[in-house]
Homo-oligomer: A and B are copies of this chain.
């Protein structure tokens, strides 16, 4: 199924909540660590416990690359099946011939519906992903971490942009540019739920889909992003590490239910 079909029928589970799978070996329950494939087992149990409550899963590639390898990420993506949205949170950004390899790896080989990308190097690095018409690329805009102020929040001079536009922060120009590039209706933005003011501004610029991480552990509040529309809210640590004991899957479900309710 195309990303956009899944996105439009997000109401299948009546939920904009996407669970982030960041399986950290130092945080998963000791009871699981004795398993032959602890990360596979841990993530499968979280998926089993939550899949009727969420719109999809976001896989953080770093946690697979550092431990069991990307083939486990692929196996888990297959485990989720084809009804829910699967996002490879990889934040890649590289020149054309390299970007084509990453796009093939995540969209074709692993079968993800969507990726996250970094805009720093410009459109050359986005285009190979955008050429997959049925897939979605969420481009980093204003992120949830404190040092977003180092570059993302800096103001650009007027002379860079159309003269009728005000001086604006870099992240706002990223939102405008991504909106311009979005000829195929398959680009979106990553906006941290810790920066609620930005949602209002971005919705004045564009109505493209927004992936909003940062709810829960990072401090973002569900109420801050409600009402804007076209949002997928990602929650990772608060759900998957809700318990460090044998009841971790049950606890993950309970937390998921709480977030779903807050995001209604």
Contacts and interface: CB of A to CB of B under 8 A. Distances in A.
Interface stretch (A31-39, A166-174, A252-260): A166-174
Given A66-B109, A144-B95, A151 B119 contact: yes
Interface in A139-165: 140, 143-152, 154-157, 159-160
Contact of A124 (B104, B147, B154): B147
* Number of copies of chain A assembled together: 2
A224 interface: no
A101 B65 CA distance: 8
Interface string A121-151: 1111100000000000000100111111111
Given A65-B101, A145-B96, A120 B122 contact: no
Interface residues on A, range: 35 or more
Interface stretch (A8-16, A77-85, A86-94): A86-94
Nearest to A120: B120
Contacts of A167: 157
Given A62-B99, A93-B93, A155-B157, 19 more contacts: A60-B98, A62-B94, A62-B101, A62-B102, A65-B70, A66-B102, A66-B105, A69-B71, A70-B70, A91-B94, A93-B120, A118-B118, A121-B145, A122-B147, A122-B149, A122-B152, A151-B177, A154-B156, A155-B160
Interface of A: 22, 24, 60, 62-63, 65-66, 69-71, 91-99, 101-102, 104-105, 109, 118-125, 140, 143-152, 154-157, 159-160, 167, 170, 173-174, 177, 218
